[in-house]
């Protein structure tokens, strides 16, 4: 029996980056002689307000509590064979805990990351706490790690500069959970986007395109699923607050899924998760050709890539006017997820990396 301690930034079963990278493998791993204990940095109360504006005192106290708990955890680190760290052991400061775990307690670290976290990217709600972030510590954590798991090629290439033991495991979908549901009868064609307050800015990249599309096609409805709404005067947005209990039902009402991204270094580190969710639900998907998106989508075969406003307009036009094309791309998109980006396609990779 291998005992592994999972150090996570957020409470278990709360953040997509954790749920869809490794938490959904827990049952499989425990069934294969891996004993798991989890230790989030933020507690539930701090997590609930962490990406909301304000609450500076509560956030500060929550972070301090996380630092104290990390120190207390070191008292029982000897009980574990390995330590799995997602993104960072502590959300502030240098790679202090990682150094202690490896150099003092002589434990192997498995380091997992799914964003370009060596860059400084802070949510608008936490700008006043940005001075606590030290993104350069990512290089140190990679050096300390016995094994590095990167979410895509761009991240892996960065990690390989500091550690040669790097494997790529994509952010994955449980295709038994992400099952296509029957759409409710409607005369509307729904273009949908899902995200959060930290990625709402990406949705806004298509404001001009969506304004043009809704003007040209009165039957088109724009759906936004997020924890925070965006309002504008250019076109109507039907906002649906994200809810884990209804996420599949809510996504399944979308006819066309969109994932716009800026072509910058941070976006190149993204793992295409929004697009993979759409595709798993047989929703025809259009993505910006940035980073791993160009590996996921074969343009015109299992979805569309759109680099310019003209591309977005042309491809949205095609999908709006052809139900047959929507169905075709939806089905091939789901098959792509099953073949390459599902739990079933990747579970043995995780088991091998965690067992050796």
Query: pLDDT at position 350, please?
Result: 92
Please compute the mean of the pLDDT values over residues 168-195 and round it to a whole number: 91
Query: pLDDT at position 185, please?
Result: 78
Q: Which residue has the tokens 């190149």?
A: 268
| pTM score of the predicted model | 0.90
For residue 165, the Cα-to-chain-centroid distance in whole angstroms is: 23
Please compute the mean of the pLDDT values over residues 262-270 and round it to a whole number: 90
Check pLDDT > 90 for residue 64.
yes
Q: Where are the domains of the chain?
A: 2-172+343-355, 189-340
Helices 343-355, 323-340: axis angle to 10 degrees equals 20
Query: pLDDT at position 197, please?
Result: 83
Please compute the mean of the pLDDT values over residues 61-87 and round it to a whole number: 96
Residues 128/56, Cβ–Cβ less than 8 Å: yes
Eight-state DSSP code of residue 233: S
Q: Which residue has the tokens 């307050």?
A: 197
Query: pLDDT at position 29, please?
Result: 96
226, containing H or E segment: strand 220-226
Query: pLDDT at position 132, please?
Result: 56
d(CA 55, CA 110) in angstroms, rounded, equals 33
Please compute the mean of the pLDDT values over residues 165-189 and round it to a whole number: 91
Question: Residue 91 is encoded by which pair of tokens?
Answer: 């959300």
If one compares 70 and 123, the residue with the highest pLDDT of the two is 70
Query: pLDDT at position 133, please?
Result: 64
Query: pLDDT at position 130, please?
Result: 52
In this prediction, residue 223 has a pLDDT band, given cuts at 50, 70 and 90, of: very high
Cβ contacts of residue 305 below 8 Å, gap of 6+?
A: 286, 287, 288, 289, 293, 294, 297, 299, 311
Cβ contacts of residue 131 below 8 Å, gap of 6+?
A: none
Model pLDDT for residues 88-114, shown as the tens digit of each residue = 999 999 999 999 999 999 999 999 999
Q: Which residue has the tokens 């490896």?
A: 102
Q: What percent of the chain has pLDDT over 70?
A: 96
Model pLDDT for residues 10-36, shown as the tens digit of each residue = 999 998 889 999 999 999 999 999 999
If one compares 198 and 351, the residue with the highest pLDDT of the two is 351
Check pLDDT > 70 for residue 242.
yes
Helix, strand and coil in the chain, % to nearest 5: 45, 20, 40
Check pLDDT > 90 for residue 324.
yes
Query: pLDDT at position 117, please?
Result: 92
Residues 226/239, Cβ–Cβ less than 8 Å: yes
Domain 189-340 CATH class label: alpha beta
If one compares 128 and 279, the residue with the highest pLDDT of the two is 279
d(CA 36, CA 85) in angstroms, rounded, equals 13
Model pLDDT for residues 114-126, shown as the tens digit of each residue = 999 998 765 554 4
Check pLDDT > 90 for residue 228.
no
From the CB of residue 354, how many other CB atoms can be counted at a distance below 10 Å?
A: 21
Average pLDDT of the residues of the chain: 93
Query: pLDDT at position 136, please?
Result: 86
End-to-end Cα spacing for the chain: 12
DSSP bridge pairs for 235: none
Model pLDDT for residues 270-318, shown as the tens digit of each residue = 999 999 999 999 999 999 999 999 999 999 999 999 999 999 999 999 9
Query: pLDDT at position 261, please?
Result: 96
Please compute the mean of the pLDDT values over residues 194-203 and round it to a whole number: 90
CATH tag, 2-172+343-355: 3.40.50.2000
């Amino acid at each position: 029996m291998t005992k592994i301690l999972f150090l996570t930034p957020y409470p278990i079963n709360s953040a997509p980056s954790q749920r869809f990278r490794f938490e959904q493998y827990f049952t499989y791993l425990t069934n294969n002689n891996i004993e798991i204990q989890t230790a989030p940095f933020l507690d539930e109360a701090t997590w609930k307000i962490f990406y909301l504006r304000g609450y500076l005192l509560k956030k500060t106290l929550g972070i301090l509590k996380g630092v104290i708990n990390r120190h207390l955890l070191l008292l029982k680190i000897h009980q574990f064979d390995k330590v799995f760290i997602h993104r960072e052991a502590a959300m502030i400061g240098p790679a202090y805990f990682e150094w202690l775990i490896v150099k003092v307690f002589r434990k192997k670290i498995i380091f997992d990351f799914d964003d370009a976290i060596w860059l400084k990217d802070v949510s608008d709600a936490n700008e006043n706490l940005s001075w606590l972030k030290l993104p350069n510590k990512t290089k140190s954590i990679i050096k300390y790690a016995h094994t590095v798991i990167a979410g895509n090629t761009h991240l892996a290439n960065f990690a390989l500069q500091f550690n040669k033991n790097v494997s790529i495991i994509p952010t994955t979908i449980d295709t038994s959970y992400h099952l296509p549901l029957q759409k409710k009868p409607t005369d509307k064609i729904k273009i949908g986007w899902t995200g959060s307050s930290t990625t709402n800015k990406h949705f806004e990249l298509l404001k001009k395109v969506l304004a043009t599309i809704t003007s040209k096609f009165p039957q088109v409805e724009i759906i936004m699923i997020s924890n925070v709404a965006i309002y504008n005067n250019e076109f109507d947005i039907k906002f649906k607050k994200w809810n884990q209990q209804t996420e599949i039902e809510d996504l399944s009402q979308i006819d066309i899924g969109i994932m716009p991204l800026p072509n910058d270094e941070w976006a190149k580190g993204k793992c295409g998760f929004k697009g993979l969710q759409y595709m798993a639900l047989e929703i025809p998907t259009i993505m910006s050709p940035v980073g791993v998106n160009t590996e996921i989508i074969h343009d015109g075969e299992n979805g569309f890539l759109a680099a310019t406003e003209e591309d977005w307009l042309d491809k949205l036009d095609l999908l709006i006017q052809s139900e047959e094309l929507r169905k075709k791309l939806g089905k091939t998109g789901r098959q792509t997820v099953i073949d390459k980006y599902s739990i079933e396609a990747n579970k043995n990779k995780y088991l091998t990396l965690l067992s050796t």
